[in-house]
Amino acid sequence: MKIICVGRNYIDHINELENQKPDEPVVFLKTDTSILLKGFPFVIPEFSNDVHHEVEVLVKINKVGKYISPKFAHKYYNQIGLGIDFTARDVQAKLKAKGLPWEISKSFDGATVLGDFVDKEQFADLQNLSFQLEKNGEVVQNGNTQDMLWEIDELISYVSQYFTLKIGDIIFTGTPAGVAKVASGDELVGFLEDKKMFGIKVL
Ligand code: ZN
């Protein structure tokens, strides 16, 4: 399986990192080895002093497809989840400054948290889902999918022009504002429409 991530899909997050608003979705990949095993803590890697949490809504692909039109994209996924795209911001900033690919800042072991997935039919409107990340009991990121620059079906259409989508592939749809450094001892809990989707400890 592959993990396809979309960057800069929420305007308030683009502004907080002083990035440019893109003309097309910003896409990058994470390896399957970056997935944090269920029940395990997240260990801050020794090569970074500034690992950020990015809470994101996830889409799980359940049908093989290529060149999918936005109109038919909904046929290619049946589950929605919530996860974290951990990012070594200091490493990424150096790579970005040089115009280099930033995978090592986002795809190191443990950098991908996959929470629970739920059937999409449980939701009346996928483009009006609220989601939150709590750190030590306090809400630090608070988003709603209605604020996406590119909606889920548009993202699926876009990425399928380049990558054949396969069953089990997961799309990270971008993070809202509020990304910040994690520290040893932090407890991170994610909610999608008030349902707890994951809880992890940082070491
Ligand atoms: Zn992200």
Q: What is the pTM of this model?
A: 0.96
pLDDT of residue 16: 83
Residue 76: pLDDT over 90? yes
The alpha carbon of 66 and the centre of ligand 1 are apart by a number of angstroms equal to: 23
The alpha carbon of 89 and the centre of ligand 1 are apart by a number of angstroms equal to: 11
pLDDT in tens, 118-163: 999 999 999 999 999 999 999 999 999 999 999 999 999 999 999 9
Residue 19: pLDDT over 90? no
The alpha carbon of 124 and the centre of ligand 1 are apart by a number of angstroms equal to: 25
**How would you write the chain as a 3-class SS string?**
CCEEEEECCEHHHHHHCCCCCCCCCEEEEECHHHECCCCCCECCCCCCCCEEECEEEEEEECCCECCCCHHHHHHHEEEEEEEEECEEHHHHHHHHHCCCCCHHHHCCCCCEEEEEEEEHHHCCCCCCCEEEEEECCEEEEEEEHHHECCCHHHHHHHHCCCCCECCCCEEECCCCCCCEECCCCCEEEEEECCEEEEEEEEC
pLDDT of residue 99: 95
What average pLDDT does the segment 85-105 reach? 97
pLDDT of residue 18: 82
The alpha carbon of 7 and the centre of ligand 1 are apart by a number of angstroms equal to: 5
Residue 12: pLDDT over 90? no
User: Please, what is the average pLDDT of the chain?
Assistant: 96
Residue 20: pLDDT over 90? no
Residue 13: pLDDT over 90? no
The alpha carbon of 6 and the centre of ligand 1 are apart by a number of angstroms equal to: 6
The alpha carbon of 113 and the centre of ligand 1 are apart by a number of angstroms equal to: 11
Residue 187 banded pLDDT, cuts 50, 70, 90: very high
The alpha carbon of 38 and the centre of ligand 1 are apart by a number of angstroms equal to: 20
Residue 11: pLDDT over 90? no
